[in-house]
Amino acid sequence: MQGEKCLDAAGQGTKEGTPIILYSCTGNDNQRWLTDDNKIKGKQSRKCLGTNSIIVRKGDPVVLADCDFSRALEFTIR
Domains of the chain, residue spans: 5-65
CA-based nearest residue to 53, from 69, 29, 36, 75: 69
* 48-50 and 63-65 beta bridge pairing: antiparallel
User: What is the pTM (predicted TM-score) of this model?
Assistant: 0.84
Give the number of other CB atoms < 10 A from CB of residue 14.
Answer: 15
Residues 5-41: pLDDT tens digits? 999 999 999 999 999 999 999 999 999 999 988 889 9
User: What is the C-alpha to C-alpha distance for residues 22 and 7, in angstroms, rounded to an integer?
Assistant: 5
Residues 30-39: pLDDT tens digits? 999 999 888 8
Amino acid symbol at 31:
Q
5-65 to CATH, choices 3.40.50.450, 2.160.10.10, 1.50.10.20, 2.80.10.50:
2.80.10.50
